Structure 1
Amino acid sequence: MSHIDVSIVNTVEEWLQCQQLRAVAFLPTEPYDEEFDGKEFEMVIHLLAKNAGVPVACMRLRLVSIENGGSIHWGRLATLPTSSKDRLSALNAILDFAEQYCKTIGFKKYTAEVADDRLIRYMEKRGFHRSSEPPIWFGKRPFKPIYKELD
């Protein structure tokens, strides 16, 4: 995989590319109304990663709170189902961008829910912690809350 460019979604075309990526990644296993929850424009920033102009990953950052330095939810992370090496490159690129963006804005807490234990372990390596809150169930899958707090 060549260089991956990540940017904030600025056009309807880019937003539709995010929706298409999410559909390819999640609709085979999740109901439509769970993946597309109607929160696409509620205080959110969408990120899109491209490799040679081809969308390979997307992510939604949603403002949760502005109190105590601010809290932002990292969600709807999807990667194009390709080789594991390519997916890891896309994942690293979009999460690096998300973290730098959130630090630049000044958010002090990042939250997410993750169903895949491999992704939880990966996020723990990036400084996230498992929350003591119970999982959130979407369909038949438990999504475990994780968080990261900055000083």
Structure 2
Amino acid sequence: MSTWALVPAIMAVTSTSKHQIMATRILNYIYIGMELAVVPVYQSEIMPHEIHGFAVGSYQFSLMSGTLIVACVCRGTSTLSGNLSFRIPSGLFFIIPVVVMCAIFFIPESPRWLLTKDRTEEARAALGKLREGKETEAEIDESFAALQYALEHEPEQGATTSSFSRERI
């Protein structure tokens, strides 16, 4: 995803026409849509269940804080002459994707996802890495057992569409 984000960032900095800028914005919002779909789900999968809401809420707060920062940068550069007034804010597109691309190698896979792929040992190791120093081994084992139990009994809950059946409404 971060590689995808760099494409519109490069296009934004090098664009010379309003059509290129429009294409850049469209591609950037495709990336933002992917991010909005993936990040909160990943956060809720890796966080202890007690803080799921806080984690996802902090993501939303970060988005709004970023929006405020971008608005301030745009306001600050609006008086610059030439095309620097839009190239500087556009160049800032590079910061987050580059940071994520560097950090991604240190972020473990989702233990839930690994369990759905029958990669039990890797799932336990990933959960251990995520909770290292925050929980004891016994607590990590308990969390892992709860995750396995939830995944085993998830099919019993029915399909997501069953939530909208006449019996439940």
How does the TM-score come out when normalised to structure 2?
0.25
How does the TM-score come out when normalised to structure 1?
0.27
Greater strand content:
1
Between structure 1 and structure 2, the one with the greater Rg is 2
Greater helix content:
2
